[in-house]
Amino acid sequence: MGAVADNLKTLLAEVPAGVKLVAVSKFKPAEAILEAYAAGQRRFGENRPQELAAKAAALPADIEWHFIGHLQTNKIKYVIPCASLIESVDSLHLLEAISAAAVARGVVVDCLLEVHVAAEESKTGFTPDEAVSVASRSSVFPGVRLRGIMAMATNTSDEARVRADFRTAHDVLLRTGLSELSMGMSGDWRIAVEEGATIIRIGSAIFGAR
């Protein structure tokens, strides 16, 4: 086995059953993805629409692609045909545009609402109250199936702050009545799992530093 397969094996031995692992393969070549695929990994995360579309066309058809980056409305056309889950719906405008594009294609797209819980203005997303409100009106977005929320913790070494961010995200999930909570990356996924994550997004701990 190569390093990617070894890293995956080590990680999966620790990730609890029921928590979905998304291998964040953005900027990584097809060869690295195929090594993870050969080791049994099927969920991969990309953050650039054209890169996602190109990889989806070239790699095995049973891969479950998650789109995890900021999505511009004019790039939705690249994402809808190949993404199993759009995790990063960060505005009402984007949600409406995804719904309209999906209806035009005759499909329904699974999505997560990105909720801003971090103490950083640079992070995007709905406020907790906005997310709850949007979830309560999900029927007005016929092209979208809301599955849950996605969140990122404050980029800090303060574990108490990170845990508080994740706890806030879990509280939002409970208020929405949805089921999926995507949070936690290579440096903080263990805390995220303790606070209720159902999906974790791991890149460098699998593929190495970018």
- Give the start-to-end residue ranges of the domains of the chain: 3-207
DSSP 58-76: HS-TT-EEEE-S---GGGH
C-alpha to C-alpha distances, 69 to 14, 129, 139, nearest whole angstrom = 26, 22, 25
Candidate CATH numbers 3.20.20.10, 3.60.20.10, 2.40.170.20, 2.60.40.10; the one for domain 3-207: 3.20.20.10
Tokens, residue 11: 């990680």
* pLDDT per residue as tens digits for the range 121-149: 666 799 999 999 999 999 999 999 999 99
pLDDT the model gives residue 123: 64
Q: Which helix (H) or strand (E) holds 15?
A: none
pTM exceeds cut of 0.75 = yes
**Do 98 and 144 form a contact (C-beta atoms < 8 A)?**
yes
Chain segment 76-131, per-residue pLDDT in tens: 999 999 999 999 999 999 999 999 999 999 999 999 999 999 877 666 799 999 99
SS3 for 28-50 is: CCHHHHHHHHHCCCCEEEECCHH
